Amino acid sequence: MSQSAPTEAAGVLRLPEDDLRDVRRAHAPFPFDRVALWAITIAILGGFFYICAINPNFGWPVVAQYFFDPTVLKGLSVSLGLTVVAMVLGTALGLIVAVARMSKDRLATSLAGLFIWFFRGAPLLVQLIFWYNLSTLFPKISIAIPFGPTLASWDTNSLITPLTAAIIGLSLNEAALMAEIIRGGLLSVDKGQMETAQAFGMTRNRALRRIIIPQAMKSIVPPTGNQLISMIKATSLVSVIAMADLLYSVQSIYNRTFEVIPMLLVAVFWYLLITSVLNVVQGAIERYYNRSDLNIVTAAKSVEA
């Protein structure tokens, strides 16, 4: 890699850009104001954490005692399981809805738009309570031939348990949100890609799978990571339908021990730990899909050098 040499133009000696940056950095004044701002910020945060640490009302020994309690860990596993199932079902259904929303068929577009409008607009908590109380509207769920005999019938209370109500509510709400995320990612790909693929004899579905969706992933992954983190936190809402998730588990403990704040801190720390891990994973996935851009930048710098 060659070093850039000074150039002379119109009688003025011009240094390479790297040397100019070094000169500016060497002659820059010491940033006393920024150092003072950092010092004040660290002092305030340190004082706040110290006050919290010595405050006995937080009940830190209770937090340590119940952090790995079997009831808490069981509730944590339920929350993680709900998150995985709801995200997988929601993403799969969201992809179908997004493709239908972008189709040229008026019926498919209308139905997809109606689905997104309803499940994205209705509050998630209301949806969960609705599905949990579905038996008040339909005491039995049946499969029948229209105007004909009933083939099978089930009691609604037996089918719609807290678990199934939580999965249905979370998945449908997530599908509506993911449909818009996926649609935005698909629209970010140049329309010429689809036209070129079809010109080479590819069907629309094959072009979506092999060309459009892989390119759209760069725009889909970041908001999908945010949705995954939001889903982890949204699972706490299922506690209102007596689903034994993480929040419900800590509530059952503090209803017995009356240690409300320490048990809520246990739930908060677990949520923060999980979301921190997911942030790291999301960053790794984003770097994977952005590797082509990084390679282009690296190649450009090599050529300039």
What is the distance between the alpha carbons of residues 86 and 89, in angstroms, rounded to a whole number? 5
- CB-based contact 37:48 (threshold 8 Å): no
pLDDT at residue number 299: 46
- Residue 33 in this model has a pLDDT that exceeds 90: no
Q: What is the pLDDT of residue 32?
A: 76
Low-confidence winner among 15-19, 42-46, 212-216, 236-240 (lowest mean pLDDT): 15-19
pLDDT at 209: 77
Question: CA-CA distance, 22 to 26, in Å (whole number)?
Answer: 6
Asked which of 98-102, 120-124, 208-212 is least confident by mean pLDDT, the reply is 208-212
| Predicted local distance difference test score (pLDDT) of residue 297 | 45
Task: Count CB neighbours of 239 within 10 A.
Answer: 22
pTM: 0.77
Query: If we measure between CA atoms, which residue out of 273, 244, 231, 276 comes closest to residue 77?
Result: 244
Give mean pLDDT, residues 54-78.
92
pLDDT for res 1: 45
Q: Which residues lie across from 14 on neighbouring strands?
A: 7
Which DSSP state fits 211? I
Query: Three-class SS of residue 150?
Result: strand
Domains and CATH numbers, the chain: 70-304 (1.10.3720.10)
Q: Which amino acid is at 196?
A: T
Q: Give CA 114 to chain center in angstroms.
A: 23
Tens digit of pLDDT for each residue in 113-145? 999 999 999 999 999 999 999 988 888 888 877
Most confident of 141-145, 198-202, 255-259: 255-259
Helices (H) and strands (E) in the chain, counts: 14, 4
Give the per-residue pLDDT at 109. Answer: 93
Q: What is the mean pLDDT of the chain?
A: 83
pLDDT score of 90 more than 80: yes
Q: Give the pLDDT mean for 51-68.
A: 91
How do residues 266-305 score in pLDDT, each as one tens digit?
999 999 999 999 888 888 877 777 765 555 445 445 545 5
Return the CA Rg of the chain: 28
Q: pLDDT-derived band of residue 18, with 50, 70 and 90 as boundaries?
A: low
Q: What average pLDDT does the segment 207-229 reach? A: 83
In the chain, what percentage of residues exceed pLDDT 90?
A: 45
